[in-house]
Amino acid sequence: MLTQNYTCGDCNDDNNTINPTVNETCYDGIDNNCNGVVDEGCVPLICQNSTDSDMDSYKANMFEEIPAATGPSQQQTPDVYKNTIAYQDHANGKWNIYLYDIESGIITQATNDTQNENLWPAVYKNGVVYEKLVFGPGTTDIWMYNATTDTNTPIANRTGDQKLPDIYENYITYWDHTPASPDANIYLYDQKTKKERKITSTPTATIENNHGPRIHNNLAVWSDKKDGNTNIYLYDINKNKTLQVTNVTYAWGPDVYQNTITWYDEGIWKRTYTSTTQTLGKATLVLNKSSVTQPARIYGSQITYQDDNDQELYQRDHTTNTTKQLTKNAENDYTPKIDTDIITYTKNGVGKPYDIYYINTSAEVICGDCDDENKSINSNSSNENSTINQGVCTNGIDDNCNGLIDCDDPSCADDSFCNPKCDPREDLCTFWPQPCCNNGKDDDCDTLFDCSDSDCGNDLACSGNATLHGFVFDDQGWHIDLATVTGYPPFKPIVATFTDIVGFYNFTVPSGVYTFKADKFGYDPDIDELTLLNGTDNEHNFTLQNATCHVDCTNSENRCNKDCEGYTYQGDQCHYNSTTVANACQDKRKGTTQTLATNESNYLLVDCCEGNPYYQWKPQLTVHGPMEDLYKLTSIVSIGGDPAKLHVNVWRK
User: Which tens digits make up the pLDDT trace of 550-574?
Assistant: 888 888 777 898 988 888 776 788 9
In contact, 625 and 618? CB cutoff 8 Å:
no
What rounded mean pLDDT belongs to the chain?
A: 83
β-strand partners of 528 = 516
In contact, 301 and 318? CB cutoff 8 Å: yes
Span 612-625, average pLDDT? 70
CA distance 117 to 135: 8
Do 358 and 343 contact (CB within 8 A), yes or no?
A: yes
The model's pLDDT over 111-137, given as tens digits with 9 standing for 90+, comes to 999 999 999 999 999 999 999 999 888
In this prediction the pTM is 0.57
- pLDDT (0 to 100) of residue 223: 93
DSSP assignment letter at 178: -
What 3-state class would DSSP assign to 410?
Answer: helix
Question: How many angstroms from the chain centroid is the CA of residue 116?
Answer: 44
Burial class (CB in 10 A: 0-12, 13-18, 19+), 436: buried
Among the ranges given (54-68, 157-171, 454-468, 594-608), the one the predictor scored with the smallest mean pLDDT: 454-468
- Report d(CA 490, CA 450) in Å as an integer: 10
Distances (CA, A) of 613 to 93, 150, 602, 603, 618: 96, 75, 12, 10, 15
Tell me the per-residue pLDDT of 56-104, one tens digit each, with 9 for 90 and over.
777 777 888 899 998 888 999 999 999 999 999 999 899 999 999 999 9
For the chain, the residue count is 653
How far apart CA 273 and CA 644 sit, in angstroms, is: 57
**Higher per-residue confidence, 497 vs 637:** 497
Q: Count CB atoms within 10 A of the CB of residue 525.
A: 14
Q: Which residue has the higher pLDDT, 393 or 471?
A: 471
Number of alpha carbons in the 13 Å side-chain half-sphere of residue 401? 22
Percent of the chain with pLDDT over 70: 83
Backbone φ and ψ for 412, nearest 5 degrees, come out as -100, 10
Question: How far, CA to CA in Å, does 323 sit from each of 113, 326, 364?
Answer: 42, 10, 14
Secondary structure class of 118 (helix, strand, coil): strand
Write the burial class of residue 373 (CB in 10 Å: 0-12 exposed, 13-18 middle, 19+ buried).
exposed
Where does the pLDDT of residue 340 fall: very low under 50, low under 70, confident under 90, or very high at 90 and above?
very high
**Gap between the Cα atoms of 170 and 183, Å rounded:** 26
H or E element in which residue 581 lies:
helix 579-585
The DSSP code for 452 is G
At 432-469, the pLDDT tens digits run 445 677 777 777 777 777 777 766 755 656 767 888 99
Q: How far is CA 589 from CA 116, 180, 585, 645, in A?
A: 80, 83, 8, 18
Average pLDDT over every residue of 243-255: 94
**Where is pLDDT greater, at 464 or 270?**
270
Of 440-449, 501-510, 589-598, which range is least confident? 440-449
Does the N-terminal peptide bond of residue 336 adopt cis geometry, omega within 30 degrees of 0? no
- Taking residues 241-269, what's their average pLDDT? 94
Question: Domains in the chain, ordered, with CATH?
Answer: 1-38 (no CATH), 75-295 (2.120.10.30), 464-544 (2.60.40.1120), 562-650 (no CATH)
459 Cβ contact list (under 8 Å, min separation 6): 427, 435, 437, 451
pLDDT at 71: 80
3-state secondary structure at position 342:
strand
DSSP notation for 261-301: EEEESSSEEEEEEETTTTEE---EEEE--TT--S--EEETT
8 A C-beta contact, residue 131 and residue 140 = yes
Q: Hey, what's the torsion of the CAs at 579, 580, 583, 587, to 10 degrees?
A: -100
Residue 5 has pLDDT above 70, yes or no: no
Please answer whether residues 143 and 153 qualify as being in contact, where contact means their C-beta atoms are separated by less than 8 angstroms.
Answer: yes
Give the β-pairing of 368-369 and 59-60.
Answer: parallel
